A and B are shown apart, each in its own frame.
Chain A
Amino acid sequence: MHTRPLRFVRRAQLVTLPHVPPDRTLLDLLREDLGQTGTKEGCGEGDCGACTVVLAERHEGRLRYRAVNSCIRLAHSIDGMALWTVEDLTRDPLLRRQCADAAADLHPVQQAMLECHGSQCGFCTPGFVMSLFGLYQNQIAAGAAGRGGPEVTAEQALEALSGNLCRCTGYRPIVQAAQRMGALPAVAVDEAELLRLLELLAQDGKALEGDFAYEAPRSLPALLAARAARPEAQVVAGCTDVGLWVTQQQRRFAQVLDVTRVPELRRIDWHADHIAIGAAVKLAEAFGALAQQWPQLHDFGARFAGLPVRNAGTLGGNVANGSPIGDSMPLLIALGAQLVLASTRGERTLALEDFYTGYRRTQLAPDELLVRILVPRPPSPSAAPDALDAAPHSLQLLRAYKVSKRWEDDISAVCLALQVEVVAGVVQHVRIGAGGVAATPARARQTEAALLGQPWTQASIHAAARALQAEFTPLSDLRASSAYRRAVLGRLLQRFWLESQAAGAHEDQGQNGLQHPPHLPQQLPSLEHHHLPLLLQEVAR
């Protein structure tokens, strides 16, 4: 089987590369084939960010910029996109200076890093520069165009840098550079010209449909037909796990089926009673949608890997991959999510918790693909009675907890997501999803049963904690011992209880109305850290 030429835009040029194997990584393409060694390999698994590059593609009429890990990205996945590596920031003719400053040869991102002493050994630096370039395009350049402002807050900087590790500087100067870059003379991408070039590529690409080793169908019927025709092809979306099979296990794929070019799979549709998230929606956007509905989920979403992984990985990929320590599934279980599986034979829908049949085994038939995740929405907030006034002992509470050694970009030792509705002091509805405690992501049905219909009291919580600890037999591994995991399961329920007390009746679905509990001081300046991973994190706000 032949490979389709790989085509992308770089430095205002249309680049066409024939004969790129379907499992070639973007980093190897850059370093080994193109001799572009500015981009570094630090870990080869998307966890250090030294290999970060920025991609842009046209999406819903505008350019979207994403910093991604090139080490675990298959080269063909950037077909039809624009690419920047660290070398390009001083060499791309499409990067236009807003003021004529002949001396300024560095991009403001680079200048800020230089001025703030953001590099020491320099090996991670290209990756940081590119993550900052992504932030620059989305925050500062977009601000210039009227979306948002040129300011970068420390919180935004940390989120943008969450997938980049530095072992030398202690990060302070790099975060400072992120906040400094907006004050330097601006540099903008010539988006009109870039869109024109991307359009040229798109037109050109239509002529190239066919039977290729790396196939990326452009419609759902074509995708399902391709899947039916070649069930042995490796399915990829963001490749944030499959990429590791290539780089860490040296596996080879003769055929790859990329699902990310299907428009139906890239959409988020807001229906009255549910959100339908296409399986190829990036994790960053998927969590963005969930946090739009439930703002308390923002931090949980921001703690899923680092931004370059959330910019590449997809919600459908996380679910279909079926890792017992994937963080999205416990949450989706608590939310009562359903999955839509499709094949040329038709579609079927099932509850997420019923999807898994064993360790990394699922209900997917060989010709089937996950196409949508349906997340039920609560009845509109205006329809719900104001709990405080109408029903003093009622509340709705949704929380997702993740316990890991590191706050950012770590994998859960334990993940627990809970959704509880209490009406007139009695648990009316409860859904609990758990991760890291069994061979699959799991719904804690026995614990739910222990709570349902019970009064919302400390005693009920204690009983539920015992049920939760009895329900799962977690393993001991490098992340935590079985004893710790079991203990923490119960203690997270206690946290949930305490938060329900703190939240009181102000908590309703979608409103982040937490109040300071009366026994806590209102102002805790030394606890004002946006990442405080502690109980009552909101208290510190």
Chain B
Amino acid sequence: MKPATLPAAASATSMPASPASSTGPALGQPWPHESARAQVCGAAPYVDDLPETKGTLYAAPIVSPCAHGLLRGIDAAPALALPGVHGVVLAADVPGDLWLPTPARDEPIFALERVHYLGQVLGLVVADSPALARRAARAVQADIAPLPAILTLEQALQAQSYVLPPVTLRRGDAAAALAAAARRLCGRFEVGGQEHFYLEGQIAYALPLEQGQWLVHSSTQHPAEVQHWVAHALGLAQHAVRVECRRMGGGFGGKETQAGQIAVWAALAAHKFGRPVKLRLARREDFLITGKRHPFAYDYEVGFDDTGRISGLRLQMAVNCGFSADLSGPVADRAVFHCDNAYYLGDVEITSLRCKTHTQSHTAFRGFGGPQGMIAIETILGDIARALGHDALDVRRRNLYDPDPAAGRCTTPYQMAVEDNILPQLLSKLELSANYRRRQEAILAWNRMQPVLRRGLALTPVKFGISFTATQFNQAGALVHVYTDGSVQVNHGGTEMGQGLHTKVAQVVADELGVPLAQVQVTASDTAKVPNASATAASSGTDLNGRAAQDAARQVRARLAALVAQLDGCHPEQVRFADGQVHSPAQQRSFAALVQLAYAQRVQLWSDGFYRTPKIHYDKHTLTGRPFYYFAYGAACTEVAIDTLTGESRVLRVDILHDVGHSINPAIDRGQIEGGFVQGMGWLTTEQLVWNDAGALSTCAPSTYKIPAAGDVPAQFHVDLWPEPNREDNVGGSKAVGEPPFMLALSVYEALRNAIAAAPGAAGEQSTVGAATNPNPFAAQPLRLDAPATPEHILRALGALAPD
């Protein structure tokens, strides 16, 4: 079926609020989220809202008050003395493996002889109410002999403390390219982590069933992993554990692996007491226990010519992984794969150091290392532009991958040809629509006149690779059931965390069967329905599960078409399904009527479906291959202002042009783009994680950790969609949209650096000195702005604060 074209999608302002009619294809229409009506009524249940089974108990974690030390004992007596406390659950209570079955096998379920971070879970208290369990957990005394802790990347680098061995990706001879370059720059900077701050905290509700079977309600992006972990900890086969998740109150990567621990803990408590146990982390516990986006530190040397074109790059990325590997390997890999962003870099040597620190084990977060990789090259290009006194957009454009393969500049450092590059046109279009040149001039004039405020403008591109880099995860399954009244139920391996996956999958199925969207119901993710499903992650939810559901629906449709062909004496291809009707050259029937006929004829009215992403392959030892099926593109132009007295800043205007291919649902896609941008803006501006000298996370609540609020959203916020379909064969011609827009926010960071550079006395001011007056290629100092760009970091970048 040909997807509808989207005139509405081209302009955000004219995007219709909801579909004009319920007939016609569902794809391409801005349908509301499938749960929206229930959500606005408070009638969409999350795990904590489910009716509780009689006898349910509540668990609370006992956490380490020490960042690193020897665990000598746990005194639970003060907790056990409280009426209503049932007991504690410690490592000795684990019937199966004491370690989580992660590839590195470096994470114990409960701390064993050693604690590795402040907040590590030592055990649980189980009580009659959540408040009592928490009160009792505070009363438990842990006897820990402190050991020296590694708390910063600097300390980890010095100690060569790694969770996984270093990885280097080389192409050509970077050292020779740097030596031969007309100009060179070197610099270093740091980028902080980010707390997911899903509004619904981590939670699991474990229910022992009959005959050693289990049901676990888990707020998870990866029910199959929860099933695997729970079975492993309980010493059971996976078939004994069923995991269900109807929806999450946000995930963003934070519930990809880390929902697993919560579920394992709840299940162990339920196992010990033989009763259903719910474990919901309080917000502060969630902050303290679970991992975050990986903080990075960069060290780079870049060689380029007088036009700003890069010929060689040496880049070291030190990754703060926390105390265990978790997903740090793939996250750090993706940072390596994305430190080119959209640019051909010549000869490169990219080193990735996966550092171990005594902090939370950092994990997946929207972009999965991509943002941390891309900020490196965008920073470098901004520095190059300032060093040359050129416009940064011109410098960026000069370095873009060349869509013409003959130019020999379209292969990534990991040897994948960029075949679908639309950035040259996309940047030009945004440059015009955002009025980039005129505003750049106006800002120059403003900055010359203004004594205190400085403005900055930056336009940065995004090229983001779509697919799991671990090839085997790029598969999905689905079930489509058609009931005798013609209503349709679809279930697939993906999970709904707000991103609208279920809505999009329902749209796909509705159109395959030619029924109104309202006739299609998506049900909870359930390991008993679709087994071995991959995490809903890597932006791939719709690509994989949409295609699997489409496959299932097509099989049902093919059987129905065969029946019609047989009844009407036509060819199955002549049978058309649309608007709830089934048309053959001879007759038109309602879908429901046909379904009843089919049932009577004993035609199977349900099917499974399966999908595996084509074309991809990747050698994890050499870091080369085609890890991505395609790239999603976009660009953002952001204007900011800073107050040079205090370092405060504002984002004033944002123009986005983003590529979602043919949008399956423009309202949902716009929501992903805007939400992703604002989340990225938060990462780079207000969201600062601070650990104190003892290794305690001091920013462990919304009172101290500041995600963007409504007033932070720029008053002028224009979003347009690129009008072309995906050049690869993808569901409905669409492209993945979950993560790529996050990195549009790099324009905020670059705009801030431009505003800082415009201030007199700023650290990078001298770097605007042109080539003629600056024979020394190292004289131009990059402007260092550590992210997030808090008022303090901006004031420091302005040179107005002495170093700490």
Contacts and interface: CB of A to CB of B under 8 A. Distances in A.
Interface in B130-151: 131, 134-135, 138
A511 interface: no
Nearest to A129: B40
Contact of B667 (A109, A117, A411): A117
Interface string B29-49: 010110111111111111011
A535 B643 contact: yes
A167 interface: yes
Interface stretch (B326-334, B776-784, B787-795): B787-795
Contacts, number: 297
Interface in A84-110: 85-87, 89-90, 106, 109-110
Contacts of B668: 117
B290 interface: no
Contact of B703 (A28, A40, A45, A520): A45
A89 B40 CA distance: 10
Interface in A58-107: 85-87, 89-90, 106
B303 interface: no
Contact of B710 (A161, A413, A526, A534): A161
A86 B247 CA distance: 19
Nearest to B674: A170
Contacts of A534: 452-453, 641-643, 648, 650
A175 B710 contact: yes
Nearest to A114: B36
Contacts of A450: none
A407 B712 contact: yes
A122 B33 CA distance: 10
A121 interface: yes
B431 interface: no
B690 A478 contact: yes
A291 B200 CA distance: 37
Interface string A506-536: 0000000000000111001011111111111
B677 A170 contact: yes
A481 to B, nearest CB: 6
A527 B675 contact: no
Contacts of B35: 119, 122
Contact of A39 (B42, B200, B451, B714): B42
B497 A498 contact: no
B562 interface: no
Contacts of B171: none
A42 B199 contact: yes
A536 to B, nearest CB: 7
A408 B709 contact: yes
Interface string B697-726: 011011110111111111111000000000
B426 to A, nearest CB: 21
Nearest to A91: B41
Interface stretch (B159-167, B248-256, B609-617, B618-626): B248-256
A341 to B, nearest CB: 29
Residue in A121, A172, A411, A487 with the greatest tally of chain B CB atoms within 10 Å:
A121
A494 B146 CA distance: 47
Chief secondary structure at chain B's binding surface: loop
Given A40-B200, A47-B702, A167-B252, A158 B40 contact: no
B179 interface: no
Contact of B40 (A119, A123, A165, A528): A119
Given A42-B199, A117-B33, A171-B713, A122 B702 contact: no
Contact of B497 (A44, A121, A488, A533): A121
A406 B197 contact: no
A121 B804 contact: no
Contact of B702 (A39, A165, A477, A487): A165
Interface string A284-325: 000000000000000000000010000000000000000000
B652 A50 contact: no
B180 interface: no
A408 B712 CA distance: 8
B53 interface: no
A117 B715 contact: no
**Interface size range on A against B:** 35 or more
Contacts of A164: 710
B209 interface: no
Contacts of A404: 706
A351 interface: no
B710 A529 contact: no
B707 A167 contact: yes
Interface string A157-183: 110011011111111111100000000
A371 interface: no
Interface string B667-703: 1101100111111000000101010100000110111
Interface in B150-200: 196-200
B801 A487 contact: yes
A403 B791 contact: yes
A43 B679 contact: no
Interface string B392-412: 000000000000000000000
Nearest to B699: A478
B653 interface: yes
Contacts of B247: 121-122
A406 B41 contact: no
Nearest to B284: A248
A440 interface: no
Contact of A114 (B37, B642, B670, B802): B37
Contacts of B713: 170-172, 175
Interface in B522-556: none
Contact of A42 (B200, B679, B717): B200
A383 to B, nearest CB: 34
Nearest to B790: A405
B465 to A, nearest CB: 23
Nearest to B698: A478
A529 B652 contact: yes
Nearest to B691: A478
Given A121-B250, A413-B791, A406 B702 contact: no
B43 A492 contact: no
Contacts of B449: 519-521
A535 B453 contact: yes
Contacts of B450: 520
B710 A171 contact: yes
Interface in A468-524: 477-481, 483-484, 487-488, 491-492, 494-495, 498, 519-521, 524
Contacts of A117: 17, 30, 32-33, 36, 667-668, 670-671
Contacts of B639: 526
B500 interface: yes
Contacts of A120: 33, 498-500, 671, 675
Nearest to A43: B283
Residue in B39, B699, B800 with the greatest tally of chain A CB atoms within 10 Å:
B39
A360 B717 CA distance: 43
A205 interface: no
A116 interface: yes
A86 B698 contact: no
Residue in B129, B451, B792, B801 with the greatest tally of chain A CB atoms within 10 Å:
B792
22 contacts: A43-B701, A45-B283, A45-B701, A45-B702, A89-B41, A109-B40, A114-B32, A114-B37, A116-B17, A119-B36, A126-B40, A161-B710, A162-B710, A173-B671, A247-B282, A403-B646, A411-B703, A495-B452, A520-B449, A531-B650, A531-B712, A534-B648
The list of the 7 closest CB pairs from A to B, nearest first, reads A38-B42, A121-B498, A123-B249, A122-B39, A86-B42, A120-B498, A170-B678
Interface of A: 28, 31-32, 37-45, 47-48, 50, 85-87, 89-90, 106, 109-110, 113-126, 129, 154, 157-158, 161-162, 164-175, 247-248, 250, 306, 403-411, 413, 477-481, 483-484, 487-488, 491-492, 494-495, 498, 519-521, 524, 526-536
Given A125-B39, A535-B645, 14 more contacts: A116-B17, A120-B675, A170-B675, A170-B708, A171-B708, A172-B674, A403-B648, A406-B712, A478-B688, A526-B652, A527-B453, A527-B455, A531-B711, A535-B646
